[in-house]
Amino acid sequence: MYGSNSSISSLLGAYHMAEMSMRYSNFIPRAYNLAKSLGFQPGRIMPSRAFCSDESQGYPIILIAKHFSTFPFNHGLVGGIVATDRHAPHAHHGKDLVIIQASHVGYDPVNEQFGVYRRLQTHDACETSNCGKISAALEWYLHEYEFASQNIFLTKIDNKIKVSIDNYLLHSERDEGLILNLEKIVQVNEQGKSIPELSKSTTKIFSAAPALVAHFDTSQLKDGQSIAIGKQLHPELFYFKRTISNHHEGRDHLEMNLINVMPYIVTSQWPALTAAQANTQVEFDRTFRTIIQEPTYKDKNILFISGLNVDISPREGQVFPLTKFIPWAAYVQDKNGHQQTWEQEEIYSKLVEQSIENPDQVDLETAIGIMESEKEIQLPF
């Protein structure tokens, strides 16, 4: 889980995007060749994927099956959460084990918008949310932020900047909602108390904190004129309270992963992208620790790669999305117990060092044809 505001922004900022992305058709053969370079035995590698259940994740799964010569084990829950209780079953399927975890986000290249994906199977090939689980988790927080950003006003009175705040936002004792860090928004007295200068029926007016005023160009603000704080309601100025079930890997697990970083998500240019990024980061940290502690993973070769799947909406005539992968980190363990963690630049470098050619890959059409031509086996019912 994330800590202070500074550590949150630092970790999010550490995830490089454009320069680290690669097409999935290049990523998977590189991941396979990387596993071979680590001593994994061809034909004996058991891959596993921890993806969302969305159909847009099908193309990456097909590529895994093609290059690893077997359909991958399913390690994933909706939203890209790792089902860690499946570690033991996965371990029983081989000695050389690869796990690929990824949250995902849709991308519309025409409108340059993240968080949506064109569903060709719908009547009008419309765009819907992607990842739907992430979008649903964000909806309440985005609504709370929108209300706050439009109900906090800066007003110039007698050439001084005042802050008008809706009474709802001043009820910090609420069980749920956007809670203001009021001492960063309004001036406080020597006792650290914020005392309103004027109370109205639905709002209270305070003198603005100097740090808040510094974010605005108020030179053009006329006396008596007000402007909503809008996007200047920065993540340092608030946090969220929300009643969330803490059932391990349950319905609200993804939301629990995101709540501490939610102020940065709702204020970002692309909330769905930032949320998927943050979830990937949290899930890698959590999952790698469970792998280390899993008894059945002892004496196994393991390559665990975590990253972000970007589902580029298909156009008419395209069957699959042009999915890209952006690695975040990796954990490597050999059968003798040696362990190492690779940060983003290191795992990216190790991947691009590998060839995108894979002589061991399976021709899926040929493999299916062979199975169809085999003599039928009658079951003894």
Q: What is the CATH number of the domain that holds 101?
A: 3.40.1050
Instruction: Identify whether 381 is part of a domain.
Output: no
Taking the CB of residue 161, how many other CB atoms lie within 10 A of it?
Answer: 17
Would you say residue 373 lies in a domain?
A: no
Q: Are residues 146 and 70 in the same domain?
A: no
Pair (181, 251) in one structural domain = no
Residues 57 and 122 in one domain: yes
Residues 119 and 175 in one domain: no
Nearest by Cα to 236 from 205, 212, 202: 212
Residue 370 lies in a domain: no
Domain stops at, among 212, 241, 270 = 241
- Identify the domain containing residue 229 by its residue range: 142-241
What tokens does 49 get?
A: 């994927």
Kindly give, in sequence order, each residue whose CB lies less than 8 Å from that of residue 112, ignoring residues fewer than 6 positions away: none
Same structural domain, 77 and 13: yes
The dihedrals phi and psi of 377, each to the nearest 5 degrees, come to -105, 125
On whether both 25 and 80 belong to a single domain, the answer is: yes
HSE-up of 110 (CA within 13 Å, CB side)? 7
Q: Domain count of the chain?
A: 2
d(CA 352, CA 336): 27
Give the per-residue pLDDT at 274: 96
Q: CA angle, 56 as apex, 52 and 58 as ends, to 5°?
A: 85
pTM beyond cutoff 0.85: yes
In-domain check, residue 369? no
Of 214, 241, 268, the residue at which a domain comes to its end is 241
Residue with tokens 């033991």, as numbered in its chain: 88
Are 268 and 128 members of one domain?
Answer: yes
- Any residues with CB less than 8 A from the CB of 204 and at least 6 apart, and which? 164, 165, 167, 170, 196, 198
Over residues 190-244, the pLDDT tens digits come to: 777 888 998 999 999 999 998 888 877 777 788 888 899 999 999 999 999 999 9
Which pLDDT band holds residue 354 (cuts at 50, 70, 90)? very high
Residue 273: pLDDT over 90? yes
Pair 113, 128 in one domain: yes
The DSSP string of 325-338 is EEEEEEEEE-TT--
Give the angle 260-268-166 at the CA atoms, nearest 5°.
75
Residue in the block written with tokens 């200068």: 197
Same domain, 118 and 9: yes
Q: Which residue has the higher pLDDT, 67 or 319?
A: 67
Say whether pLDDT at 160 is over 50. Answer: yes
Query: By C-alpha distance, which of 235, 168, 170, 237 is closest to 206?
Result: 170
Domain boundary among 179, 206, 241: 241
Answer whether residue 119 shows pLDDT above 90: no
Same domain, 109 and 254: yes
Mean pLDDT of 240-250: 87
Closest to 20 (Cα-Cα) out of 271, 307, 282, 269: 307
One domain for residues 310 and 358: yes
Q: Is residue 372, in this structure, part of any structural domain at all?
A: no
Is residue 45 one of the residues assigned to a domain? yes
Q: Is 342 left (phi over 0), alpha (psi -120 to 50) or beta?
A: beta
User: Do 305 and 252 share a structural domain?
Assistant: yes
Q: Is residue 378 part of a domain?
A: no
**On the CB side of 299, how many CA atoms lie within 13 Å of its CA?**
4
Does residue 379 lie within any of the structural domains?
no
